[in-house]
Amino acid sequence: MTKKTLVSVILPCLNEKKTIERCITWAKQGLRKLAQRYKSEIIVVDNGSTDRSRSLARRAGAKVVVEKRRGYGSAYKAGLAASHGTYIIIGDSDGTYDFRQIPRFIRELEKGADLVLGSRLTGTVSPGAMPFTHRYLGNPILTSLLNIFYARRLSDSQTGFRAFTKRVSKILNLQSNGMEFASEMIVKAIYHQLNISEVPIRYFRRSGNSKLLPLSDAWRHIKFLILYTPTYAFIIPGLVFLVIDPYIGIQLVMLGVFAKVYTNKQLNLPSGPLARFLISHLTVERLFIAGVILLLVPEFRLIGVQLIFTSFFYGLLKES
């Protein structure tokens, strides 16, 4: 008999007594369609519920993991650590995602996708499910920024209904504890040149109050996108400023190079062609010599001093 592949469904939970049983039931119904070839586990990560969510999840047949560190990312990291599946499905437990559609995600993984995103905006959004500001401002802006910075054509970067393999989760080595976990997953998948696909999904109105903090969560996503794109945040503006104000331009370019070395060395993220060119051609010696030469020119003496000291810091980063 052929050994069945395990599918893990991970549901983060914070006071979802109204919907947790329904989500587990829907997940079971979706997984039942795959039962001939797959076995499954459903993991609910309780992130500090004070209602009956935990006991209701157990009663519905899920394995409950308690994660005391608050945060969207914290809950998912705990769920990933507790999961054993080759294929992993994640989604919110507030009743907005239809887990009966799980087979659609598994088919995409079977066809070779590394990360599958459930797109609400190419699917069906129930009336009142997504506030006007989220549907027509927040989500489109965040998705557009990601598409511009990383040359993608995604329709819904903020969806919470996703699928990937255990191998991919190890490659991504996700670290974020908050809502930016969602952006980190996509950005790192792009950096590692993984195959990302989207499937249209149904999106329902949630029961109870949303736990999103629109402005705070949006800023966390934007900040993450900027931090992981030093070329757009520092290097390109720096090259422009070299013409306007060389002192500011040099500072921005070097900040971008430092950030790229850091993301490459510490976060194990590949660099783009511009950053690769700069990093490969910049050495401690070249920066030091350029600084000494500029010291001899009165108008650029300040830049020269900056480059001399910068050269040593750059060397420390490259050797770290």
Give the integer Cα–Cα distance in Å for 219 and 69. 21
Segments of the chain assigned E as strands: 5-13, 38-46, 63-66, 87-90, 115-125, 162-165, 196-203
Strand ordering across the sheet containing 5-13: 63-66, 38-46, 5-13, 87-90, 162-165, 115-125, 196-203
Amino acid in position 238: G
Question: Are the CB atoms for 116 and 164 separated by under 8 Å?
Answer: yes
Q: What is the pLDDT of residue 260?
A: 83
195 three-class SS: coil
pLDDT tens-place string over residues 26-56:
999 999 999 999 999 999 999 999 999 999 9
Residue ranges and CATH numbers for the domains of the chain are 5-225 (3.90.550.10), 230-319 (no CATH)
Give the integer Cα–Cα distance in Å for 9 and 27. 8
Q: What is the pLDDT of residue 2?
A: 65
Give the integer Cα–Cα distance in Å for 97 and 203. 6
Amino acid in position 10: I
Give the integer Cα–Cα distance in Å for 246 and 248. 6
Question: Are the CB atoms for 172 and 88 separated by under 8 Å?
Answer: no
Give the integer Cα–Cα distance in Å for 250 and 310. 10
pTM: 0.82
Q: What is the pLDDT of residue 139?
A: 86
Which stretches of the chain are DSSP H helices? 20-32, 53-59, 72-82, 102-110, 132-133, 139-150, 166-172, 181-191, 214-227, 230, 236-244, 246-265, 273-281, 284-295, 301-319
Residue ranges of the chain whose pLDDT lies below 50? none
pLDDT tens-place string over residues 52-96:
999 999 999 999 999 999 999 999 999 999 999 999 999 999 999
Q: What is the pLDDT of residue 11?
A: 98
Question: Are the CB atoms for 118 and 161 separated by under 8 Å?
Answer: yes
